Structure 1
Amino acid sequence: MKVKYIVYTLLAVGVGALVFYRISANKEAKKEDKGPKKPQTVAGVIAKPQDFDNNLSLSGSIEANESIDVRSEVAGIVEKIFFSEGMVVSKGQILFKVNDVELRAQLSKAQTAQQLASENERRAKLLLEKEAISREEYDIASADFKSAKAETQLIQAQLGKTSVRAPFSGKIGLRSISPGTYVTAETIVAKLVNSSDVKITFSVPEKYASQMTLNSTVAFTIAGNTDTLSAKIYAIEPEIAVDTRTLRMRAIAQNPNGKLLPGTFANVQLPLQKIKDAIVIPTEAVVPIQNGKKVFISDNGKAKEIKVETATRTDAEILILSGLKAGDTVITTGVMTLKDEAPVKVRIQKTTKS
């Protein structure tokens, strides 16, 4: 029995010692928490007013200067094809020929009817001069002649459409027909594209619409090409698109080497008005929040949260419209984990612009 009491006593003493140790440790931790926090070392820049070349980055699409789907206006069997896939054709060049045997037969019939109607009209005129027939009978003969003549002209026009010609000079694409294919007005024979000049179509937000002018030069780049190319704005839509709240416009660029392919995506840099005394900070300093954007500045050794309004953004910098003033120390690192009023030690970075 004494052994059992001794064991119970030792267990109670051990539990009590463990509880006492945990309570003491918690008190020490609380004392440490109440002590001064170590400042977080961060990088920052001094906000300075500077001239800012305000460029708007936009997405655009390259289009051919002229582009059509080649079709036949008349239905029939393709008799002969006069082009090779991928070749350059000239305006007015015959591309293919549709069989016209039936139309020629109709033309012969119409011409015969026209000759007969012409002779009847001539005879009726002589009889009218001799007052052998009424004016009404002559008018009927004259109308029959005009109708027969119009029918002949209609068939001649249809015959002309059996030779399909290029409406403009350009490069013809892959054909979808062969000799003997039956084509209709719905059949797409090939694509004809003129891309000696190309169009770049893009849209700008409505708040910049008042700054858009004709003949302005824009710069653009395309994927797989490091060269910066230029184009000139030649057309602007007269109204804002209600669904996107943007203004659509189009620029034209020369393409002598044919390297700019229609359908290619273009990164457009549109120059806006130059802003004097602008506040520009590194993009990494801006933190997106639910109702806008914020930055942290250093104020007497503590981080201070400031809501800002931004505008144009480049790869490295962003334009601040409101919230910051010249001389503010803007924190650029650790901003995602930084808390308001947290102690900070700022290491000032040198800026490339002043």
Structure 2
Amino acid sequence: MKKSYFIRPAFLPVFLLTSIGTLLVGCSAKEEKKASERAVKVTIQQIQNRGQAEELSFSGTIEADNSVQIGFSVPGTVSSVKVDEGQHVGTGQLLAAIDATEYDNALLIAGAGLEQAEDMYARLNGLYQKGSLPAKDFIEIKTKLAQAKANKNLSMKRVADTKLYAPMSGIITVKSIERGAMAAPGAAAFTIIKTDQVYARLTVPESEIGKLTKGQSASVFISTLDQTFTGRIAIINPQADAVSKSYTVKVQLQNPGGRLLPGMIAQTKIATGKSLDAITVPASAVIRDADDITYVFVAGDDQKVTRKRITASGVQGDDVIISDGLKQGDKVVVAGQTRLKDGASVIL
């Protein structure tokens, strides 16, 4: 005989309840496990207002203390060039010369003319003193003598001008002539810059120019040299730019080794001596996205984070000064933030 197996109705509800209960418990455990896996372990720092020394930051460039362009004052063919670009020269050093043959000949002629005029003057002066020469004729010979002297002096100067000397010590930055070329009066042959001391040239907005004074100390960082230099404000131009309404400020820097070169970028910081209440966060907490938006993550009481856009106004040490986006008491994520997104759960 074939046996039949079945569940008695009386036991069916108990069986179903047991199975469903087991299933619910299993699902709940899995959900809790997933939630736990999604939560990110982070470290937070609660924001506090604190006294912050006001420090203004500007980006500028290094410029030479002095720059001059020099050239020949007489025309001629360049016969020699003694220096090259980048070379350091001293005051009075010979830089170049032009062919002086024509000017030497002119000097000889002027010299001969002066001798003739002097001889004539010596003879006629005696006659004039004796009353044998009219005053008009004597004045004429005196005039010719003076002209002859002037001609010789001019010829001597032109001979001297065939050589070009450095008017100051410095560095040759531009050489515009070559041997065999024609030199023209007034045309620049060389540019010399003086770099024993240099300036960091800054552009300061109207809102901050009133915080600066002549003689104020400044810290200038040159990234090219990875070095910070200390200087003082030497010049504050009182005339604002007509378009930008900004002012030019120059910080003087000593440069005995000549390492500071014109054109280098100068990141300059100037302490105003005032203290401000400021919100700061560690630089490591700040994130910048592909759209160049700067933000941090702030943890809430529900252990979820909110992405908050911030505006940074400066840097001090390892901290970023925040001018907008955060308030006192905010809990900023300072470690683990790179694995977060807006609304993510965290473990504090």
Displacement of 1:326 after TM fit? 5.3
2:243 aligns to what? 243
Amino acid at match of 1:123: L
1:217 aligns to what? 217
1:182 aligns to what? 182
**1 CA distance for matches of 2:259 and 2:219?**
16
Moved more, 244-253 or 270-279: 270-279
**2 CA distance for matches of 1:86 and 1:286?**
44
Amino acid at match of 2:225: N
1:15 aligns to what? none
Deviations 1:119-171 (CA, angstroms, capped at 9, x unpaired): 34873685277285246x55444344333322322222222111111112234
2:270 aligns to what? 270
Q: Secondary structure at the match of 2:273?
A: coil
Distance 1:159 1:300, change over 3 A: same
Distance 1:97 1:51, change over 3 A: same
Displacement of 1:327 after TM fit? 5.2
Asked if residue 88 in structure 1 is aligned to residue 88 in structure 2, the reply is yes
Q: Secondary structure at the match of 1:149?
A: helix
**1 CA distance for matches of 2:89 and 2:159?**
22
Give matches, 1:144-223, under 5 Å. 144-172=144-172, 175=175, 177-185=177-185, 188-223=188-223
1:67 aligns to what? 67
Distance 1:56 1:116, change over 3 A: same
Q: Secondary structure at the match of 1:172?
A: strand
The 8 Å contact of residues 211 and 273 in structure 1, kept in 2 or not, is answered as no
The 8 Å contact of residues 125 and 138 in structure 1, kept in 2 or not, is answered as no
Deviations 1:214-264 (CA, angstroms, capped at 9, x unpaired): 232222222333222222222221322232222212222233433322222
**2 CA distance for matches of 1:80 and 1:256?**
31
1:99 aligns to what? 99
**2 CA distance for matches of 1:74 and 1:249?**
39
Displacement of 1:276 after TM fit? 4.0
Amino acid at match of 1:209: I
The 8 Å contact of residues 124 and 133 in structure 1, kept in 2 or not, is answered as no
1:260 aligns to what? 260
Give matches, 1:1-354, under 5 Å. 46-83=46-83, 86-118=86-118, 119-120=120-121, 123=124, 127=128, 130=131, 132-134=133-135, 138-172=138-172, 175=175, 177-185=177-185, 188-280=188-280
**2 CA distance for matches of 1:317 and 1:139?**
87
TM-score with structure 1 length normalisation? 0.64
Distance 1:276 1:151, change over 3 A: same
Moved more, 276-285 or 257-266: 276-285
**2 CA distance for matches of 1:183 and 1:108?**
23
Q: Secondary structure at the match of 2:210?
A: helix
The 8 Å contact of residues 231 and 251 in structure 1, kept in 2 or not, is answered as yes
**1 CA distance for matches of 2:240 and 2:123?**
63
**2 CA distance for matches of 1:243 and 1:121?**
70
Q: Secondary structure at the match of 1:111?
A: helix
The 8 Å contact of residues 220 and 230 in structure 2, kept in 1 or not, is answered as yes
**1 CA distance for matches of 2:206 and 2:122?**
67
**2 CA distance for matches of 1:107 and 1:324?**
82
**2 CA distance for matches of 1:276 and 1:313?**
14
Corresponding pairs, count:
304
**2 CA distance for matches of 1:210 and 1:150?**
57
Deviations 1:262-287 (CA, angstroms, capped at 9, x unpaired): 22222222222331444456798899
Amino acid at match of 1:208: E
**1 CA distance for matches of 2:238 and 2:126?**
59
Q: Secondary structure at the match of 1:208?
A: helix
Q: Secondary structure at the match of 1:68?
A: strand
Amino acid at match of 1:257: G
**2 CA distance for matches of 1:52 and 1:129?**
96
Deviations 1:90-115 (CA, angstroms, capped at 9, x unpaired): 21111222111111222222233334
Identity between Structure 1 and Structure 2 (%) = 24
Extract unaligned runs of 5+ from structure 1. 1-39, 288-293, 348-354
**2 CA distance for matches of 1:123 and 1:277?**
94
Distance 1:48 1:129, change over 3 A: farther
**1 CA distance for matches of 2:233 and 2:123?**
62
Distance 1:277 1:183, change over 3 A: same
Distance 1:276 1:55, change over 3 A: closer
**1 CA distance for matches of 2:93 and 2:286?**
61
**2 CA distance for matches of 1:235 and 1:144?**
54
**2 CA distance for matches of 1:184 and 1:85?**
20
The 8 Å contact of residues 298 and 346 in structure 1, kept in 2 or not, is answered as no
The 8 Å contact of residues 121 and 142 in structure 1, kept in 2 or not, is answered as no
